[in-house]
Amino acid sequence: MSCTVVLGAQWGDEGKGKVVDLSTVDADVVVRYSGGHNAGHTVVVGDTKYILHLIPSGIIHRGKINIIGNGVVIAPDALIEEMEILKKQGVVFDENFYISKRAHVIMPYHKTIDVLREEMKGKKKIGTTGRGIGPTYADKSARTGIRICDLYDDEVFREKLEQNVREVNFLMEHLFKQDKIDAERIFKQYKEYAEYIRPYVAETSEMVTDLYDAGKKIMMEGAQGTMLDLDFGTYPYVTSSSASAGGACTGSGLSPRKIDNVLGVVKAYSTRVGSGPFPTELLGQDGEDLRQAGHEFGATTGRPRRCGWLDLVSLKFSVSINGINLIALTKLDVLSGLDKIRVCTAYEYDGKVLDKFPAELKYLDECVPVYTDFDGWKEDLTTVKSYDELPANAKKYVQFISDFLKVPYALVSLGTDREQTIKLNELF
C-alpha cells in the first residue's frame, strides 16, 4: 500500500495530466482532490487526444478506480458533457468511477456572479475562467453551499436552493442590475443531472481509506499549481481551493499519515495564466517565441499563457510547503535551440537580495530577478530515450535545478509522446 500526491509546483499547466497518466500504469486508484472544471488535463494516447477537466486521468486506463473527491466543486452539466465525450471515445464508466457525495455543486448563479464580479473589478480583475468556481467555494465556507448528497433529498435541496436564490436575486436586482434567477427551473434541471450521476455517487472518503488499507496503490491528482493555492499562492491572484499537498487530505478524506510521496511537477521554464505577479515573465518576442515553441495555450480556455524563465525562488517555497520529495521535469525539449538559458535564483528589491518567496505582492511586482545563466543546447531531444543521452548542457541544467531544490528527479518528460519519458526513480 502506498499513496503518491502529484501536484503542480508552479502556477499550473506544468503537465500534471501527462505525468499522472504515465504513473497510473503502476497505480490502482486515481483521486482528484481539488478545483473544478476550470482545470484542464490533455492526454494523448496514439492518435487520440483526451481532454479532461473534472475526471481523473486514470479513466482512460482499464482496471483503474477513479474518484472525484469531496474537495472538488462539480458543475453537473460540465461533468455529464465530459463523460459523454469520453464515452464516444470508447471510455467505459462503471465500477471504475465514483463521485463524492460530499462534493459541493456549482449552480448557475455561481457562474453568473463570477462573471459579473470580474466585470466590476475592471483593471483589477483576477482573471478567473468565469465558471463559478470561486463563488461555489465561497458558499462552501459560508455554510450555504449545496452538496451532491443534497440533490437526492427534495426537501433539503429545495429549501437550500430557495434560500440562496433569495440572496442572489437581491444582488442581481440592486447591485448587478440583472434579471432575477428562477429557482424552480434550476431545481428541475439539477434533479435531472442528479439522476444521471446517481450510479456513481458514493461516500468516497471511506472508500479511499479502505482501498489504501487493502494494499492498493493510490495516486492523488491535484489541479492548478501551488503558486495559485488559496493560502500560499500570490493572493488574491489565486484559485479558490487548496492546490497544495494539504488539499490532498482535506479533499479526499485520506489521513496525512498515509501519504508516502509528494511528486512536484515542474516545467523547465515558467508560465502563468491570468493576472498577478510573475517576476521572470518574458515580454515581447522572447516570450512569444517560448509560448509558440511550448504550445502554451490553455486546454480549458485556449487562453495564451504568460511565459518566462524558470523561477527557483518560488519553486523552493513550493518544495517546502508541500514536502516535495520527487520532481517530474516537463518540456525540457522546448528549450532546445536557445543560445542562453536563464534561471532565477533570487530577487532584488529596494537594494536588498531576497532568497525567500515573499507574501507581499508589492515585492513580487517590483523586484528584479537575479539570474544564473547556462549555455543552451542545439540537439533535438525528441529521440532521447535515457538520461545519459541528454546533451551535456541539458544535464547541467537538470542537475542544477535538482541541487538547488535539494530534491531528486522521478522522471524527465519530453514533448507530447506518452512514451517519451526518462524514468529516474520509481513512484511506488
Catalytic amino acids?
13, 41
Residue 9 CA to residue 243 CA, distance in Å, equals: 9
Contact 316, 407 (CB under 8 A): no
Task: Respond yes or no on whether the N-terminal peptide bond of residue 236 is cis (omega within 30° of 0).
Answer: yes
Question: Residue 122 contacts by C-beta under 8 Å, 6 or more apart in sequence?
Answer: none
- Residue 397 per-residue DSSP state: H
The letter for the amino acid at 168 is: V
Q: What angle do CA 132, 134, 140 make, to 5 degrees?
A: 105
The candidate with the shortest Cα–Cα distance to 9, out of 417, 410, 426, is 410
d(CA 341, CA 374): 5
Q: Return the half-sphere exposure (C-beta side, CA atoms, 13 A cut-off) of residue 291.
A: 18
For 124-140, the DSSP string reads G-----SSSHHHHHHHH
* Contact in structure between 219 and 23 (CB atoms under 8 Å): yes
**In sequence order, which ranges of 294-370 are alpha helices (DSSP H)?**
312-322, 361-366
Measure the CA–CA gap between 271 and 265, rounded to whole angstroms.
13
Q: CA 16 to CA 9: how far, in whole Å?
A: 10
**Euclidean distance between CA atoms 189 and 84, whole angstroms:** 18
